[in-house]
């Protein structure tokens, strides 16, 4: 066995005086803190105000998500409302959680876009929100937007977002990143 490395000194190394070491006084102090917060929140709650920072999800959503939050996938649409996705499966292939499933369709009439997703589903019970799918997409067809999916449930096998759900985003109204991009799609 290799010798244990010497213990590092941390900047926040705890230092215990005799008072802390006596234990009983610190325990009482901790209980007092817990009680103080509990009764404060209880008092506010009984008088109809909001106490703790807990939000009552799903009735209520936190307004203060981080600016970088990308909690929900959307499928971008072509101007006629059909999905931009070409069902190439790059996103499903790169996904480390293997949680994207696509069934491709073929439409010979749609000459510039003959392959499209007939079904598209993402399992939110397994997605780790890494964003690889967005990176891998050659068509800018899948994006993640600052939102959270409204998916409370009691069954982990029932947390799939389907194509209809993923297509509800209206890209024309997204000022931050409009779709199609300014100057049109790259030819």
Residues that bind ligand SF4 (CB under 6 A): 85-91, 95-97, 99-100, 102, 122, 127-133, 136-137, 139, 141-142
Residue 88 CA to residue 39 CA, distance in Å, equals 57
Omega before 70 within 30 of 0, i.e. cis: no
Residue 81 CB, shortest distance to other proteins, in Å, is 20
Binding mask 138-177 for other proteins (x = CB under 8 A): xx-----------------x--x-x---------------
166 binds, among ligand SF4, other proteins, none (CB under 5 to 8 A by kind): none
φ, ψ of residue 148 to 5 degrees: the values are -125, 145
Q: Which of residues 58-87 bind other proteins (CB under 8 A)?
A: 86-87
174 binds, among ligand SF4, other proteins, none (CB under 5 to 8 A by kind): none
Q: What is the chain's Cα-based Rg? A: 25
Using CB under 8 A as the binding rule, whether residue 94 contacts other proteins is answered as: no
Residue 158 CA to residue 102 CA, distance in Å, equals 17
Please check whether residue 180 is in contact with residue 81, taking contact to mean a CB–CB distance below 8 angstroms.
no
């Amino acid at each position: 066995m290799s010798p244990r490395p010497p213990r590092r000194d941390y900047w926040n190394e705890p230092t215990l005086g005799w008072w802390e070491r006596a234990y009983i006084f610190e325990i009482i102090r901790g209980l007092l803190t817990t009680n103080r917060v509990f009764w404060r929140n209880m008092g506010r709650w009984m008088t109809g105000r909001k106490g703790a920072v807990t939000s009552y999800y799903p009735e209520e959503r936190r307004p203060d998500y981080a600016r970088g939050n990308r909690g929900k996938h959307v499928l971008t649409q072509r101007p006629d409302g059909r999905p931009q996705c070409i069902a190439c499966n790059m996103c499903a292939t790169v996904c480390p959680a293997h949680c994207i499933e696509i069934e491709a369709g073929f439409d010979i009439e749609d000459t510039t876009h003959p392959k499209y997703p007939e079904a598209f589903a993402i399992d939110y019970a397994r997605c780790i929100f890494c964003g690889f799918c967005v990176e891998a997409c050659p068509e800018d067809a899948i994006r993640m937007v600052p939102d959270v999916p409204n998916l409370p449930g009691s069954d982990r096998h029932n947390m799939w977002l389907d194509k209809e759900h993923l297509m509800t985003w209206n890209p024309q109204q997204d000022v931050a990143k409009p779709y199609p991009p300014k100057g049109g799609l790259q030819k």
